[in-house]
Every structure is written in C-alpha cells, then in structure tokens.
Amino acid sequence: MMKKQSSSKKMNPGVYFLINYSVPIIFTILVAFAIPLSKLSANYFVTEIMIRLSRNSFLILALLIPVMAGMGMNFGIVLGAMAGEIGLIFITDWQIVGMPGFLLAILISTPLAIIFGYFAGIVLNRAKGREMVTGFMVSFFMNGIYQLIVLYGMGNIIPILNPSILLPRGYGIRNAISLIGIRQVLDKLIPLKIGGILIPVATFLVITTLCVFIAWFRKTKLGQNMRTVGQDNEVARISGINVERTRILSIVISTVLACYGQIIFLQNIGTMNTYNSHEQVGVFAIAALLVGGASVAKANIPHVFIGVILFHTMFVVSPRAGKELMGQAQLGEYFRVFVSYGVIAFSLALYAWRKRVEKENERKKIMGYRKSILVK
C-alpha cells in the first residue's frame, strides 16, 4: 500500500494571517499608539486624511497594473510624475488657468508620459527579474535628463514667454512655481462641506472612475494577458501572448496614470517644486501600497486606500507625537522617514522569504510524489 508522505507542514491560519499582513498590523499598532499621543483634534485629523486620500490615491492606484503584469513595484512612476510637471510648466508659462489649464496640462503631458513609459518598458524588459531596482535606477537617470531640459533647455532652446518662472540668468525654470491658476481646481469643482470638513467630491469621483477602470481592465483580454504574463512568462509565451509587448504596455499605462496622479497631487498643493516634487513620489507611493498589505506579487484596490490612510496618518501624527514624546518634532519626522524606507525593505525581505519557503514546499511535494511512485 502506498504510504502517503506529508511533504510540508501546514501553517496555522492565524500565523499565516499575521505573517501575510504583518506590515499593516504593525502600522495599525504604531498609528493607534501615535494618534492619542499627538493630541490632534478629530476635526483636523479627519480633514487631513481626507485631503491626503484625495491627493495621493490616484498615484498609488497607478502602481497596480505593473504588479498585475508581474513587474513588481514600479519605481518608474517618477517618469510619469516628471511628464506631468513638464505639462504644468507649459500651462504656467502660457498662463492657462482653471479647468482648461488642468485639462491642457493633462493633454500636453500624456504623449510625454507615453514616451517615457515606453522607454522604461524597454529597459525593464532587458532586466527581467530585477525590474524594481532597474526602475529605481531609470528614475534617477531620467531625473538627470529632466534637470538638463528644465534647468538648461527651457528659456534657451525651448522658448519660455513668462519671465516670472525663469531664473534671473534668463534661462532655466525657477525652483518653485506657483500653480495658483489651477490650485484646487479639481477639488473645488463640486464643493461639499460636511461638519466643517470640505470634501473634494470631483477628485473622489475621478479616483472612483480609475478604480472602476482597473477592475474592468482586469477582465479585458489585455488585462488577462498581463495576469498570465505576471504568473509565468514562459506559459504566457507558449499561449501566444507577446510577453515583451504586454510588459511594455503595463509600464506605459502605469506611467500615464502616474502623470495624471502627479497633476492631481500638485493642483491640490498649489505649488510645484520644479526639481524636488517628483523625487519621493515613487518611494512614498510604494511604501503606502505595501503598508496597505500589498506585496510585490499581489496588490488590489483596498490595499491602496488602507495604505494611504495608515501611511499618511503617520505623516500627520509623527511630528506632534515626536514632540510630545521626546520634546522634538524633528525626531518624529526622522522616525517617519525611517519607517517609510524600512517598510519597503521589510516587505521585500518578507516577500523573498515567503517565495523561498513556497519554492521549498513545492520541491518537497514533488520529491514526496516521486518517492511514492518509486515505492509503488
């Protein structure tokens, strides 16, 4: 009689849940500890979270599609952010204000985002298995090109008509540009005040539309192709899917969405730091998504919103909590920065460990099956 060999121990569901959701659990504990310590009023806290949800969600939703295609966390969304900023520089130069300015910025930056995304997709295709670090490096590279164009090209080769955004030397864009013409143009499009808290209805409608789009996209042929590519490149290739083209498309879509997300972000803030606004976009967006319980291989819409709420609550409460606890607000800020980078490192390490354990379990299963055949 064939002896059934138990090849792998089944993990306790509770332990499995704790390991899988360790990051959001840790963050929830930290936030639960920091909120009462910060002594912030409920009204202020809710207002801040509302603003940050409307400001950041679109950018983080842009990360979902590359995860679906098996490309991990797309650090290359910085390229999309840069494309958005170039669009905003032009509309500020031409003094286009209001909703026409906002829409024109989107129109101008879309082809740029497509080109940047295509370039990033080609590079990432040559670095299969190392997409995240390659995306990180590509974003640094493109930052250099962006600075070359904006700091030297604009005003020199690219004519800039509005002298107020140029540096005193006559070329190069100033460090900070006021976006007063399009400030909160989307947020205040459909104003709604509940209990003294202004709710940016139009922005939330746009975010909802994107969520519906992502949910619909998953069911389309291209979406299914991306999921197949994400699960196994070789199986996808044998099935007749053009793996390289599908991967490039996922990065292009992500970059374009990141471009729109950055425009939405900056219209809320009302000021653009020409050379800094896009720098932390990738890291903070990815950190927020990971805090929400996503992993390098799996990310869904609820992870985005949970992540924004938890991660940005840390932004809001850490300086005050640090001041109350240690007498220095700056220490709270250092703690927040440490946690932001730390959560990415922890999530990636956890993912790598889980993949290794799963591979080991698979190998044991196969060995056990082979042994059972031999015994037979």
Partner 1 sequence: MRKRIIIRTTLVAVLILIGIFLYTIGQEHKVIIDNKDIIVNGNTYNASTVYKIWVDNQEIGVIEKNGRAVTKVTGVSHKIVIEAISDQALSGEKHERIFKFKSNEGAVINIPAMVNALNEWIDKTN
Contacts of 150 (CB under 8 A, 6+ apart): 86, 89, 172, 173, 274, 275
| Contact positions with partner 1 (CB under 8 A) in 177-206 | 181
Instruction: State which of residues 107, 133, 205, 366 lies at the interface with partner 1 (CB under 8 A).
Output: 107
Shortest gap between Cβ of 98 and partner 1 (angstroms)? 6
What burial class does residue 157 get, using C-beta atoms within 10 Å of its C-beta: 0-12 exposed, 13-18 middle, 19+ buried?
Answer: exposed
Interface residue with partner 1, options 25, 37, 50, 103 (CB under 8 A): 103
Question: From residue 38 to residue 77, what is the string marking binding to partner 1 with x (rule CB under 8 A)?
Answer: ----------------------------------------
Please choose, out of 51-59, 97-105, 275-283, 350-358, the segment that lies near partner 1 by the rule CB under 8 A. Answer: 97-105
Evaluated on CA atoms 78, 79, 84, 85, the torsion sign reads positive
What phi and psi values does residue 338 have, to the nearest 5 degrees?
-60, -45
Shortest Å distance, C-beta 259 to partner 1: 15
* Binding of partner 1 by 101 (CB under 8 A): yes
User: Is the Cβ of residue 91 or residue 294 nearer to partner 1 in the bound state?
Assistant: 91
Phi first, then psi: give them for residue 66, nearest 5 degrees. -65, -30
CB closer to partner 1, 31 vs 91: 91
- Residue 268 beta carbon to partner 1: minimum distance, rounded to whole angstroms: 19
Which residues, 155 to 174, sit near partner 1 by CB under 8 A? Answer: 161
Interface region with partner 1, contact rule CB under 8 A, candidates 58-66, 73-81, 102-110, 128-136: 102-110
Burial of residue 95 (CB within 10 Å: 0-12, 13-18, 19+) is exposed
Quote the tokens at residue 331.
């220490």
Judged by CB under 8 A, the residue of 94, 171, 217, 275 near partner 1 is 94
Place of tokens 């900023």: 85
Burial of 72 (0-12, 13-18, 19+ CB in 10 A): buried
Residues between 326 and 355 that touch partner 1 (CB under 8 A): none
302 binds partner 1 per the rule CB under 8 A: no
Nearest residue (CB) to partner 1, 100 versus 302 = 100
DSSP 4: P
Rounded Cα gap, residues 352 and 157, in angstroms: 47
Alpha carbons 77 and 71: distance in angstroms, whole number:
13
Which one of 70-78, 95-103, 325-333, 342-350 is the stretch in contact with partner 1 (CB under 8 A)?
95-103
The count of other CB atoms within 10 Å of the CB of residue 178 is: 13
Rounded to 5 degrees, φ, ψ at 158 are -95, 115
97 binds partner 1 (CB under 8 A): yes
Interacting residue ranges for partner 1, rule: CB under 8 A:
91, 94-101, 103-104, 107-108, 161, 181
